[in-house]
């Protein structure tokens, strides 16, 4: 085996990442671990969401605010199911994908629930990949694992059942 080029493989243990806690909600760049390319004009950034104390200001809403990424796609991998904004929607090992200009926010009453987390350490563990002016595409294999009910998770009037059946078996099954 050999290696030629300027790119070098390495390992980064997310548990070694020290998050930044602030009095108010911090935007994703505060969690940035790596970037590549000419950000924000091209390339990508990788953010690590690790356990940190949620904002403690008396008027703080610790959940992320509703937003959309105009010129970037957002892919998140959830190492556990304790990411407050998506709690009850995601499980350990879940991915979410929000293509550029797709609005997304905490689902249901997650923003209201987050008020109880004010000033407490969050147990979240997730990795986010944002692209800049470069679109991601879902493969046929990846599409087979989609959650058809995910888009409905923002509706208060929909009871969301846990997915089951074809497409939900693990790749090793």
User: In angstroms, rounded to a whole number, what is the distance separating the alpha carbons of residues 97 and 152?
Assistant: 14
Strand partners of residue 53: 121
CB 47 within 8 A of CB 78: no
- For the chain, domains (ranges, CATH) are 25-145 (2.60.120.10)
158 or 133, higher pLDDT:
133
| Residue 128 confidence class, pLDDT cut points 50, 70, 90 | very high
- What's the pLDDT score for residue 64? 84
User: In angstroms, rounded to a whole number, what is the distance separating the alpha carbons of residues 1 and 135?
Assistant: 32
What's the order of all strands across the beta sheet hosting 32-36?
32-36, 43-49, 126-132, 74-78, 95-98
Average pLDDT, the chain: 82
What percent of the chain has a predicted confidence (pLDDT) above 90?
33
Has residue 160 got a pLDDT over 80? Answer: no
- Coil, helix or strand at residue 154: helix
Q: What is the mean pLDDT of residues 138-161?
A: 79
- Coil, helix or strand at residue 94: coil
Look at the alpha carbons of 150, 152, 153, 158 in this order and tell me if their dihedral is positive or negative. negative
Cα–Cα distance list, 71 to 32, 98, 119, 146 (Å): 18, 11, 33, 23
- What's the pLDDT score for residue 84? 80
User: In angstroms, rounded to a whole number, what is the distance separating the alpha carbons of residues 125 and 77?
Assistant: 9
| Residue 157 confidence class, pLDDT cut points 50, 70, 90 | low
């Amino acid at each position: 085996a050999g290696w030629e080029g300027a790119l070098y493989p390495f390992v980064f243990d997310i548990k070694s990442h020290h998050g930044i806690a602030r009095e108010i909600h911090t935007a994703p760049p505060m969690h940035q671990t790596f970037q590549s390319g000419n950000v924000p004009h091209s390339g990508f950034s990788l953010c690590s969401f690790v356990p940190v104390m949620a904002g403690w200001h008396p008027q703080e809403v610790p959940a992320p605010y509703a937003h959309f990424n105009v010129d970037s796609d957002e892919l998140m991998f959830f190492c556990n199911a304790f990411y407050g904004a998506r709690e009850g929607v995601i499980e350990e090992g879940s991915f979410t994908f929000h293509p550029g200009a797709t609005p997304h926010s905490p689902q249901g009453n997650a923003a209201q629930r987050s008020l109880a987390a004010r000033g407490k350490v969050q147990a979240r563990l997730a990795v986010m990949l944002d692209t800049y002016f470069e679109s991601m595409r879902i493969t046929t294999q990846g599409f087979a694992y989609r959650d058809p009910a995910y888009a409905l998770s923002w509706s208060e009037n929909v009871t969301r059942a846990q997915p089951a059946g074809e497409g939900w078996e693990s790749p090793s099954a």
